[in-house]
Structure formats: structure tokens, C-alpha cells
Amino acid sequence: MSTSTATPDVDVVVIGAGFTGIYAIHRFRDRMGLTVHGFDAAADVGGTWYWNRYPGARVDIESVHYSYSFDEQLQQEWHWTERFPAQPEILRYLSHVADRFDIRKDVTFGVRVTSATWDDDASFWRVTTDDGAVTTGRYLVSGAGTLSVPKVPDFPGVETFAGRTLLTGNWLEDVDLTGQRVGIIGTGSSGIQAISEIAKQAASLTVLQRTPNYATPIGNHSTDPEQEAAEKAAYSDIRAKSRNHFLGVPYDEVQPSALAVSPEQRRAVFDDRWNKGGFRLFIDSFADLLLDKAANDTAAEYIRERIRERVQDPATAELLCPTGYPYGTKRPPLETDYYEAYNRDTVTLVDVAANRIDAVMPQGVRLADGTVHELDVLVLATGFDACTGPLLAMNVTGRDGLRLADSWADGPQTYLGLTVHGFPNFFMVTGPQSPSVLYNMPLAIEDHVDLIGDVLAHLAESGHTVVEPSATAQDQWVAETNALSEMTLLPTSASSWYMGANIPGKPRRVLVYLGGAPRYRAICEDVKAGGWRGFAVADSSRGLETATPGQELDPCFMFVAETLRQQQFPGFRAAGVETARAVVDSFVGMQAPPQRVAAVSEHSYGPDPEQRLRVYRPDVDGDDGLPVLFYVHGGGFMAGGLDVVDEVVRDLAVRTRSVVVSATYRRPPEHRFPAAHDDASAALRWTVGHACEIGGDGHRISVAGDSAGGNLAAAAAVQAVRDGVHLTSLLLVYPLVSPTAQTASREQFAKGYVIELDDLAWFGEQYTSSEADVRDPRLALDTLTAADLAGLPPTLVITNECDTLRDEGEAFAQQLRAAGVDARAQRFEGLAHGAFWMSLAVFGCSDQRQAAADFLVAQAARDRAPALA
Ligand code: NAP
């Protein structure tokens, strides 16, 4: 192919002809009219199913789900003979699909990609293959797979072995092992499948096990014609359910917690899922197995009990029982008669954790204690350089000579696990940091290829040719991926390939997105709905340097925004008062379990039932009066209440070791301006008057509020200072400063960011009755004079980048500074309005609350009365 013109040879170069390559070629070529060329090192299609022909190789997601969904006729006409088909049948299926869509004509087989280099001048990729050819393509799509670079351990002397060495991950022919003395290293999914089969053939089988695994029954059987017909009749429904499931399968029996049921109930659930087979025990029993060690222990112990039942020799059974890591933190294998293999006289289990492999010799494997296991065949089922390995093996170089290997020296850096900053027009199907291996692969692949198709269509529509994610979007994605991983038990496993821990020297970083397929899909939807958030487009590579990316948004917020959109929430105005209040109250569902405090008491500061306070005393030793934090909740003046901020103020009480007084107030439309403002002031007066009584230090009272509550808090503080009250500090979390503020952030984030501009307008209409109300300095804080503001305590204004109220909050901090107040604004990138309440849903909430707490604690320390200092 030519290499010298500015027009590339093809629009899209596709790497790999497995599940990804086949669909990608069809999608881009046949459905989009692009020119496409594929490469695969294999002699034919199949990808992982081409290379893994070891005995026992079998899929472990049900075939009805582990298959393409993109073509209705294809899924109707194909017949699977088994529930979990073996490798040959899956390869036949892929060959059939390749025939049906005439894929092979656009693939060069038997060549391996040795480098892919972005040409900054021509704005396309140069792809070099090991036959010396260079092919240029505008877009580069990798379907190189996640588990396609086998790990070959460098045992000393491995090349001296006189027998035959076979690698499960590169096993291309049927090998007759009858009568052979076989040794196998590795008891992961591949090893376990192979052991069950090889044990039936070999004269002897020596299993050299370093780490035992939690293998559970696959539950395979022939396809039942009636069930097949029923599934085919409901296929679109099944696919939709699958895509709405964490793992991409339509399982629907998961229960919330293994610890919330009795031991008998738990046992019944485990028995049921064990008997049903597949990944049901892992993914469809209890939702907290990967999150809570105690819950995980129940499943781990259950599996150990079942192993002991199946293995006759107690010592062998104990060796096969995993104990050193939680269930599921290494990918759980599925098995058929695996444990029974050890009941054969011909099978020996050797513990190479206790007595490590020292060397491979011509006659077999020697262990550290000098024992030699003599072998004719050595099978290496030692795993893969997962997820990043296949991409790094291709020597990818992006803009300005940036090597992927350097960009990823500290672990993968991606946006959506699909694209990489610095690598224009490069797409990784099921790449690292995407759900990939934790999402039924064919569906994960279709989703990714479709998303790439949408990106390319967007480029064509906008008249651009080059696309790349911003560094900010990528950083946010890496943070989301790592934060999700930290919430699970995965990082506690010492050798899981999910964490890159199986390869010496590989950075320990989570390689998969643990938020599940539905969350991932929702985020991708929001990326699209938000005008391709985080992606910059340009006419050329150089143009990317100055291109403005679509507004990035923290992935947590993308999920929240998309969830609201899917619920078709019509906005607060259309919802009306009652629904608006219910929606705001429902934000409790986005909060972490509330912190424990020492005492909570309820108080009134006026006759109206709304004039209430809730006082939280943290569990702090000592008789000294604690600092007091007076907190006014937000909710557009007309919604919100003590319950929805209960978790927020408990957290602040714990973080700041302060007594927190949480105030609510009379709300519109029943009570209009200035009722809420009068009440906030009255509630603060109550707090000042009762500070000592509630265990606080009357000299150290800080005032805080969020959103509309920020407005109320600021106005109450101004009034208190005017009345001669000493305040320690003022914390305003994305405050409403004025109903009529006209700012760039109000325009930019008017729609699609949780609180919309029209919501603000409607809240204002509910609360105010006249123009005079709207301009009243208690509400329109921007009309307060320097004299009004002078004397306010040190103030922190927290703002969020993607918030309608951002600019007015920051302007208010300036206004305070101009009046001589020690004030500053702290902006949180990528967050939107409401984050301060969303401790469970939005990971950045914790940073925001910590910033608030650090500020409050520092001010309280500084303001300590001399006698107590
Ligand atoms: P794996 O899960 O990484 O297992 C590798 C095995 O080799 C482990 O038991 C490991 O022990 C052992 N090992 C590696 N280096 C060793 C050394 N130097 N000395 C002694 N033992 C060593 O690899 P895999 O079994 O090929 O499976 C990889 C993934 O492929 C699976 O998790 C799964 O996602 C996929 N797969 C799927 C299927 C299917 O769908 N049915 C089948 C096969 C594979 P340690 O644990 O101590 O490191």
C-alpha cells in the first residue's frame, strides 16, 4: 500500500479479527461506508478463540448471551449445541459470521502489527506489520484483545526441556496426550479447564499449584430446544436486560447483602446459585461480596466446604482450598469435574508456593528442595499480560512522538478506557479502564464499536477529521476508575491480573472499570448528550493543540445527570411544589451511611412546626466547649429539610469535632420572603444563646449553608455581626448570591447539570412576591455594601466548575475581600451543583467536605479563647 500521500490508504485500520475486528469491519464498512482494512497475526478469524485450543477450552458465559446482538437474523439463525460451548464451536460461529458479512476480504492474516505511529503532518496513522508493509489509516481501532499476550515465566532452563512445552494461550492444534507424563503450571481459568480434560488422557498429571482458586461449577449441558425457542422469541428483551446488568447477563436474583440474611438463608442462596452454575454464585447471589470482607468470607467458606466434599484426600483438599485472598478478587474460574480430577490415582497436586519451582531441566521440573518431577509434556497455563499488554506490544506512538509506553509508565491513562490523550484518532475496544472483562465481551465490544462509530459520525457531521480526549477528562476518568477500585476488595489480592499483579514489574493499577456495564453505558450516554464531553475535535493534528474540548464533567456527575434524564424528570417548575420537595428529599439515596455521633437532640426556635433545629454532638472526649457550626440547608428555599442534610451535618460534626446545629425554616409558597431569612437569623440567635447549653463554646460559632441555604447563612451572619455577635468563620457552599445574577456560568450550565437555570428562576418566583423582594439586600447579597460586609469572619466560598451558581459565588468572595474580609473561593473542577450532599454518588464530595472541614477547624483553632488556648 502507498505511504507517501496525505490521503491515507484507508479510513480505518482495525487490528485483530476476533469478536471486535469482525464487528468493527462490518460496522464501519457496511453501515458507515468507510474504507477499512484489518490485520491479524492468526491465519484466520477468531481472536482469542483462534489461539486457545487447549483441551477443555470453553466459554463461561452462556452462549445465548455470549454472542453478537447486532443482527437479528444472525442471532435467530445460529444454533448453539451447548449452554457453554467449547472452543471449536465458538470458532465455527465466528467463521460463520465472517462468511456471512464477507469480512475476510478486508483482512490481511498472518501478519503482526509491529508499530503504529501517528503522523503529525498528515494527521493519520502509519501502521507497520512484520512483513515490512506500512498502511496508513485516518483512524486506528484496536481489537487486539485483553488476554492475548501470554505470560511465559522465565524459569531457568525452560529452553532445555527435552519434552514438549505447550502454552495454553498459544495452543493451535489437537495434541494427543494419551500415555504421556504431563506437568502443568498454573491453576487459573485456563489451567483448571485443561486439568479436568488432561487428567482423563494422560498417564500421569502433575499439577504444580502456586495459588489455589475458587472454582465453581459451570453447569454445562446440551441446549434445550424449548428453552432455545423461548430465548430466541424474547431475544431483544434479553439483550436489553443484559446491557442493564453489571456483568452484561440478564441475571436478576442478586440480594443486597450476605450479612443481612440468616446463615440458613445464605446457605440456600449459595446452594441455588452453585447448582445453577455459571457466574451466578459470583455475581447473582449477594451484592456485597466484592465490597465487604465479612460478606466475602461467607462465600469463600462455602466454596471451601464444597471443595472438601468433592476431594477424597483431606490433605489434597486443604491444598486446593484458597485462603489467602477474597473470593472474586482473582477472576473466579468455572469448572466441570475439576476437583474430582484429584481423586484419580494418576493426578498429583504439588504445592509450589511452599516448595517453589527452581528450574526446568531436560527431564522435567526441579523444585527448591531438589525434588524432580519427570515429564514428557510441560503445559504452561501461566496467564497473560492482561489489558495493557496487547496495546503496549504494538509500539504505539502518538502526537509529538509520545510513546504509549511512556504515557502509561505508571499504569494506564485513558478516557473511558477507549481513548488516550496525546493519541488522536486511536480507539481501544474494551481497553484498560473500560468494563471489558467484567462485561459480557460480545456486548461490551458492540457497545464500544458503536460508540466509535458515533464519534466518527460526529466528526463527519462537524466537518472535522481528528479527535482526542482532553487531559482533564482523562484525569477524571482515571480518578473514577481508581476510586471505584478502592471501594472494592480487589486491591487486597496479591497476584490478581485485574490489578496487573501477575506480571513482575507491572504497575499495580486496576485494569478494569468496576462501576459495571449500566453505569458505564450511562456515562457514555452523557458524554454524547453533553456534546461529546471531554473530546476535542480539529481539522488536523496541530489544530488539537488549540481546540476547545467539550465541557468535561466528573464521571460521577455524568452518571447522576444521565440517571435523572432517563427518569425523564421534567425540571422543578413542571414537577410542581410537592414533587420538587420529594425529589430534593430523595437525594438521601445518593448519600453514604450516616456517621455515628454521640447525641442528637431536636429543638424549636419558634411556634411554626418548620422552625426547628437539630443539634448533633460528636463523640469527642473532654469537657471543653466544642466549636459550634450553625448549618442552613439548601433546596431553592422551598425544598430540603433536616433529614436530607442529616448525613451531611453528621459528617461535618465528625470531621470538625464541632457541635452542629442544623436549621430548617418556613418555606414558600406557604411562607414567602422574608420568612426564611427571618427564620435563619432567629435560628442563629437561638444557637448563640444556647451554645453553652448544647455543649458548645459560645465564643466559637461558625455559620454555614449550601445553595439557597448559603444565601440564608450569609444574610444571617451579616445580621448577627450587625447585632454585635462574634462569629468564627463563614462557609458558603455554592451559595445563591442573587436571584437576578447574570453570569457566564448561569448561561454555560443552564441545562443538563442537575439544577437548571429555569429551576433557579422558578425557585425565585416561589419565594419572592415583588421586585422589591428580589432587590432586598438580604436576598440580593451582591447589593450589600462594603460597610454591610465589614466585620464578617474569615469566609470560604466553595464553588463547583459546572454549576450555574459558580460565578456569583466567586464574585461574592471578591466582594467580601474588597470589604476587607479574609475571604477566598475554592473551585472544584468537574463537579456540579449538589455535590456537597452526594457522598455516595459523587466521589469528589469527600474532598469538598474535607476542604470545608479543614477551613472550619483552622478557624476554630485560631479563634480559641485565650483562656482555653
Ligand atoms: P491466570 O488466571 O493468570 O492464571 C495463571 C496461573 O499461572 C496462576 O495459577 C498463577 O499462579 C500461575 N503462575 C503464573 N506464573 C507462575 C510461576 N512463575 N510459578 C508458578 N505458577 C505461576 O491465567 P489464565 O488461567 O490463562 O486465565 C486468564 C484469564 O483468561 C482468566 O482469568 C479469564 O478471564 C480468561 N479465561 C477465560 C476462560 C473462559 O472464558 N472460559 C478460559 C480461560 C481463560 P498465581 O495465582 O500464584 O500467580
CA 357 to ligand 1: nearest atom: 19
CA 189 to ligand 1: nearest atom: 25
SS (H, E, C) 636-698: CCCCCCCCCCHHHHHHHHHHHCCEEEEECCCCCCCCCCCHHHHHHHHHHHHHHHHCCCCCEEE
Share above pLDDT 70 across residues of the chain, in percent, rounded to a whole number: 99
- Determine whether the shortest distance from the Cβ of 325 to ligand 1 is under 6 A: no
Q: 572-863 — its CATH code?
A: 3.40.50.1820
Over the stretch 429-477, which tens digit does the pLDDT of each residue have? 999 999 999 999 999 999 999 999 999 999 999 999 999 999 999 999 9
- Determine whether the shortest distance from the Cβ of 60 to ligand 1 is under 6 A: yes
Residue nearest atom 28 in ligand 1 by C-alpha distance: 383
The rounded Å distance from CA 189 to ligand 1 centre is 6
Of 382, 389, 341, 53, nearest in space to 188 by CA: 382
- Determine whether the shortest distance from the Cβ of 250 to ligand 1 is under 6 A: no
Examine the residue annotation and report whether 707 is marked as an active-site residue of this protein: yes
CA 153 to ligand 1: nearest atom: 18
pLDDT value, residue 564 = 87
CA 210 to ligand 1: nearest atom: 47
pLDDT at 617 exceeding the cut of 60: yes
Identity at 267, one-letter amino acid code? R
pLDDT at 3 exceeding the cut of 50: no
Over the stretch 90-112, which tens digit does the pLDDT of each residue have? 999 999 999 999 999 999 999 99
pLDDT value, residue 447 = 98
pLDDT value, residue 567 = 86
Residue nearest atom 40 in ligand 1 by C-alpha distance: 59
Place of cell 469480512: 103
Dihedral sign, CA of 501, 503, 508, 514? negative
Beta-sheet pairing, 364-367 with 357-361: antiparallel
Over the stretch 397-431, which tens digit does the pLDDT of each residue have? 999 999 999 999 999 999 999 999 999 999 999 99
pLDDT at 4 exceeding the cut of 80: no
- Determine whether the shortest distance from the Cβ of 170 to ligand 1 is under 6 A: no
Ligand 1 pocket test: which of 61, 216, 331 has the largest number of ligand atoms within 8 Å of its C-beta? Answer: 331
pLDDT value, residue 268 = 98
CA 331 to ligand 1: nearest atom: 32
pTM of the model: 0.95
Residue nearest atom 6 in ligand 1 by C-alpha distance: 186
pLDDT value, residue 865 = 57
Residue nearest atom 23 in ligand 1 by C-alpha distance: 383
The rounded Å distance from CA 373 to ligand 1 centre is 21
Identity at 861, one-letter amino acid code? A
- Determine whether the shortest distance from the Cβ of 27 to ligand 1 is under 6 A: no
In what side-by-side order are the strands of the sheet with 612-617? 599-604, 612-617, 659-663, 626-632, 696-706, 729-733, 795-802, 823-832
pLDDT value, residue 869 = 39
**Mean pLDDT, rounded, of the chain:** 96
Domain 10-149+386-466+499-526, classified CATH 2.30.30.110, yes or no: no
The rounded Å distance from CA 190 to ligand 1 centre is 6
Q: Which helix (H) or strand (E) holds 419?
A: none
pLDDT value, residue 674 = 98
Mean pLDDT of 287-315: 98
- Determine whether the shortest distance from the Cβ of 191 to ligand 1 is under 6 A: yes
Of 243, 251, 246, 240, nearest in space to 62 by CA: 251
- β-partners of residue 662 are 614, 631
- Determine whether the shortest distance from the Cβ of 659 to ligand 1 is under 6 A: no
Catalytic residue among 707, 738, 745, 839: 707
pLDDT value, residue 204 = 98
Length of the chain: 869
Residue nearest atom 39 in ligand 1 by C-alpha distance: 59
pLDDT value, residue 1 = 39
pLDDT band at 623 (very low <50, low <70, confident <90, very high): low
Over the stretch 388-400, which tens digit does the pLDDT of each residue have? 999 999 999 999 9
Residue nearest atom 34 in ligand 1 by C-alpha distance: 331
Of 584, 529, 532, 513, nearest in space to 562 by CA: 529
Pair 321, 308: CB distance under 8 Å:
yes
* Interior angle at CA 177, CA 171 and CA 183, nearest 5: 80
Enumerate the H helices of 161-290 as residue ranges: 189-201, 225-233, 235-243, 263-276, 280-283
Mean pLDDT of 194-200: 98
Beta-sheet pairing, 696-706 with 626-632: parallel
Ligand 1 pocket test: which of 58, 190, 247, 336 has the largest number of ligand atoms within 8 Å of its C-beta? Answer: 190
Of 739, 768, 605, 765, nearest in space to 674 by CA: 768
pLDDT value, residue 754 = 84
Ligand 1 pocket test: which of 185, 320, 349 has the largest number of ligand atoms within 8 Å of its C-beta? Answer: 185
pLDDT value, residue 866 = 56
Cβ neighbours around 858 below 10 Å, total? 13
- Determine whether the shortest distance from the Cβ of 352 to ligand 1 is under 6 A: yes
Question: What distances in angstroms separate CA 129 from CA 15, 134, 394, 431, one per listed residue?
Answer: 11, 7, 10, 21
Range of weakest confidence among 243-252, 361-370, 619-628, 671-680: 619-628
- Grid coordinates given for 2: 502507498
The rounded Å distance from CA 211 to ligand 1 centre is 10
Task: Determine phi and psi for 305, rounding to 5 degrees.
Answer: -60, -40
Of 190, 225, 211, nearest in space to 81 by CA: 225
Ligand 1 pocket test: which of 155, 382, 497 has the largest number of ligand atoms within 8 Å of its C-beta? Answer: 382
- β-partners of residue 125 are 118, 137
The residues of the chain that CATH labels 3.40.50.1820 are: 572-863
The rounded Å distance from CA 245 to ligand 1 centre is 26
CA 168 to ligand 1: nearest atom: 26
pLDDT at 647 exceeding the cut of 50: yes
- Determine whether the shortest distance from the Cβ of 171 to ligand 1 is under 6 A: no
Pairwise CA distance, residues 535 & 240, whole Å: 28
Residue nearest atom 33 in ligand 1 by C-alpha distance: 189
Over the stretch 811-825, which tens digit does the pLDDT of each residue have? 999 999 999 999 999
The residues of the chain that CATH labels 3.50.50.60 are: 10-149+386-466+499-526
Residue nearest atom 10 in ligand 1 by C-alpha distance: 186
Over the stretch 204-233, which tens digit does the pLDDT of each residue have? 999 999 999 999 999 999 999 999 999 999
Over the stretch 138-187, which tens digit does the pLDDT of each residue have? 999 999 999 999 998 989 999 999 999 999 999 999 999 999 999 999 99
- Determine whether the shortest distance from the Cβ of 53 to ligand 1 is under 6 A: no
Q: Which helix (H) or strand (E) holds 215?
A: none
pLDDT value, residue 568 = 86
The rounded Å distance from CA 382 to ligand 1 centre is 5
Over the stretch 503-549, which tens digit does the pLDDT of each residue have? 999 999 999 999 999 999 999 999 999 999 999 999 999 999 999 99
Mean pLDDT of 741-749: 96
- Determine whether the shortest distance from the Cβ of 212 to ligand 1 is under 6 A: no
Mean pLDDT of 238-260: 97
Residue nearest atom 36 in ligand 1 by C-alpha distance: 189
Residue nearest atom 15 in ligand 1 by C-alpha distance: 382
Mean pLDDT of 821-835: 97
The rounded Å distance from CA 499 to ligand 1 centre is 13
Mean pLDDT of 294-323: 98
The rounded Å distance from CA 271 to ligand 1 centre is 26
DSSP per position, 61-95: S-TTTSS--S-HHHHHH---SBSS-BHHHHHHHHH
